[in-house]
Each structure stands twice: as structure tokens, then as C-alpha cells.
Amino acid sequence: QKEVEQNSGPLSVPEGAIASLNCTYSDRGSQSFFWYRQYSGKSPELIMSIYSNGDKEDGRFTAQLNKASQYVSLLIRDSQPSDSATYLCSPETDSGNTPLVFGKGTRLSVIA
């Protein structure tokens, strides 16, 4: 059973601060990693993909990957109330032959 662990939160940060979301996974063979954002009552939306160790930046979002530690994180700079959502971490498994495995998600609340 492939496992994805995330702190369920809620994680509360003040507006303008950096939000740090963490995820660990069990499948050492995973090569691709995805972060999804899910607003209450909406479906998950892909916001970041990362395929190699290190950092990947996209606007206010930075994904960080450390395959040796089986750890992936998402940083949100200058957090806004509109960032309040549940963030799901998902590693690819089985070379893409099986569906993505999703963590339970971290609920982020950005306080104005």
C-alpha cells in the first residue's frame, strides 16, 4: 500500500506570511510529484508539478523535492486569504501505470 502523509491542519497563517506545507511518501520509486489545491465544494486543481530534486518556483508557489528523504513541500509566499483551501500532495507511482495516490490534504487558513 503506497502511503502519502500530510499534516491535516488546519494550518493558520497571517496574510502576507509564508505558508509551508509538507508531505512524505513511501514509494521510493516515485519520480513525479504533484500539488493540488481544493477549495471547499470544488474539485482538485493541479497547481504544481515537480520531477527532479531541488526547488521549482511558479509565481508565489515553490515546490521542493528531496527524493532521498522521500519528502516534498510546497511554500506559498505572500499568502492571501484566497489561498485558503485544502492542499493535496500526490506522488506518481508504478511508473504512471496506476492512478495517483492522494494524501488526506492539509487545510490552510490565511487570516486577513
Partner 1 sequence: SAVISQKPSRDICQRGTSLTIQCQVDSQVTMMFWYRQQPGQSLTLIATANQGSEATYESGFVIDKFPISRPNLTFSTLTVSNMSPEDSSIYLCSVRGSRYEQYFGPGTRLTVT
> Which residues would be at the binding site for partner 1 (CB under 8 A)?
32, 34, 42-46, 49, 51, 88, 90, 92, 96, 98-100, 102-105
Residue 88 CB, nearest approach to partner 1 (Å): 7
Task: For residue 40, give Cα distances in angstroms to 1, 62, 82.
Answer: 28, 23, 12
Residue 64 CB, nearest approach to partner 1 (Å): 18
Distance in angstroms (rounded) separating the CA atoms of residues 43 and 61: 20
Nearer to partner 1, 18 or 46 (CB): 46
Considering just the CA atoms, what is the radius of gyration of the chain in Å? 13
The grid cell for 56 is 521549482
Nearer to partner 1, 60 or 104 (CB): 104
Residue 96 CB, nearest approach to partner 1 (Å): 4
At residue 94, the 3 state secondary structure works out as: helix
